[in-house]
Amino acid sequence: HAADALRTDLMTITRYVLNEQSKHPESRGDFTILLSHIVLGCKFVCSSVNKAGLAKLIGLAGETNVQGEEQKKLDVLSNDVFVKALVSSGRTCILVSEEDEEATFVEPALRGRYCVVFDPLDGSSNIDCGVSIGTIFGVYMVKDFTEPTLDQALQPGKNMVAAGYCMYGSSCTLVLSTGSGVNGFTLDPSLGEFILTHPDIKIPKKGKIYSVNEGNAKNWDGPTAKYVENCKFPKEGSSPKSLRYIGSMVADVHRTLLYGGIFLYPADKKSPSGKLRVLYEVFPMSFLMEQAGGQAFTGKERVKTCFLPVVV
């Protein structure tokens, strides 16, 4: 039966969000417009990633970002595209990006009520060898957006109204939550549309995979080292876990969402509060994890309510 093989009822991401919006009569469609600009950015980055080697998009841009990392050409290009798409949406007032030293305050004429925090290109070290990379974003609502201030962007994760990521992998997948579950959409390149392929994602209750950069083990604290040791040499009767580590948080979290298990980037002697960036990496991913029935911890407390998360 052809219809079994081919999807014919196409739930695009726009149709999905419009459906959701219709459940809230007070909604003015601002989020739908914001999301369509985020989606445009993701499609652009996807297309750039796919032709990176051909279009001379591989390699360094020549600048260093605020984290002290050398920026790749694709870090800079992706950031430019997202900043411009978000500003022109007319629905944002503050933007915070990994690649910009200062927050962007949108000019008054284009201001809207959302603050977007984002990592335009996650997994930069994997760009040049064609391994999965992604974009991460989180959205806050700003009450008084006529006079935006920085503290409106520096809110705890529990205040986020939406979060998501797009993974540029063997297919391009956008995973989104607006606070009522998690849905995954796959880009159909021939249509240029993200289609709902992973409705209501729930993380499996048990997982056989642990994911961590074990090369840092000598700098870990005792409990972390013991936990990982136990993944490999479990007590009599249970089987060891499998190790998978890509080094792109988007890809490692995506696998964890679909297959279950644990992903962690513990604090170590080199980075006492962990390497992952709280605002645009840890908060959005923690939001998605919890919405999918999982958990996100700093090692001491729930990530969403704090400001120094180190473990997801």
Name which of residues 119 to 138 contact ligand AHG (CB under 6 A). Answer: 119, 122-125
Closer CB to ligand AHG, 241 or 254, in the complex: 254
Q: How far is the CB of 90 from Mn ion (least distance, A)?
A: 26
- Residue ranges of alpha helices (H) inside the chain are 2-5, 13-22, 30-50, 73-88, 222-232, 249-259, 283-291
Closer CB to Mn ion, 119 or 193, in the complex: 119
Q: How far is the CB of 262 from ligand AHG (least distance, A)?
A: 13
Q: What DSSP assignment string belongs to 64-83?
A: E-TTSPEEEHHHHHHHHHHH
The DSSP secondary-structure symbol of 208 reads: S
Q: How far is the CB of 154 from Mn ion (least distance, A)?
A: 18
Q: How far is the CB of 24 from ligand AHG (least distance, A)?
A: 33
Q: Which one among 98, 193, 268, 290 touches ligand AHG, defined by CB under 6 A?
A: 98
Interface with ligand AHG includes 247 (CB under 6 A)?
yes
Instruction: Give the contacts of 261 (CB within 8 A, at least 6 positions apart).
Output: 207, 208, 209, 210, 211, 241, 244, 255
Q: How far is the CB of 204 from ligand AHG (least distance, A)?
A: 21
Distance CA 138, CA 228 (A): 30
Interface with ligand AHG includes 219 (CB under 6 A)?
no
Interface with ligand AHG includes 249 (CB under 6 A)?
yes
Interface with ligand AHG includes 90 (CB under 6 A)?
no
Instruction: Give the contacts of 112 (CB within 8 A, at least 6 positions apart).
Output: 30, 34, 89, 90, 91, 92, 93, 106, 145
Q: In 3D, which of 132, 118, 95, 121 has the Cα closest to residue 253? A: 132
Name which of residues 178 to 197 contact ligand AHG (CB under 6 A). Answer: none
Structure tokens at 210: 């642990």
The binding track of 43-82 with respect to ligand AHG, each residue x by CB under 6 A or -, is --------------------------x-------------
CA terminus-to-terminus distance, the chain? 43
Closer CB to ligand AHG, 93 or 167, in the complex: 167
**Residue 62, H or E segment:** strand 60-64
Chosen from Mn ion, ligand AHG, none, partner binding at 125 (C-beta under 5 to 8 Å by type): ligand AHG
Torsion from C-alpha of 37, 40, 42, 46, nearest 10 degrees? -170
Q: Which one among 213, 244, 260, 302 touches ligand AHG, defined by CB under 6 A?
A: 213
Residue 279 main-chain phi, psi, to 5 deg:
-70, -45
Coil/strand/helix, residue 229? helix
Length of the chain: 312
Count the site residues for ligand AHG by CB under 6 A: 14
Chosen from ligand AHG, Mn ion, none, partner binding at 283 (C-beta under 5 to 8 Å by type): none
Name which of residues 1 to 40 contact ligand AHG (CB under 6 A). Answer: none
Distance CA 50, CA 55 (A): 9
Q: Which one among 15, 158, 208, 275 touches ligand AHG, defined by CB under 6 A?
A: 275
* Residues forming the site for ligand AHG (CB under 6 A): 69, 98, 119, 122-125, 213, 247-249, 252, 265, 275
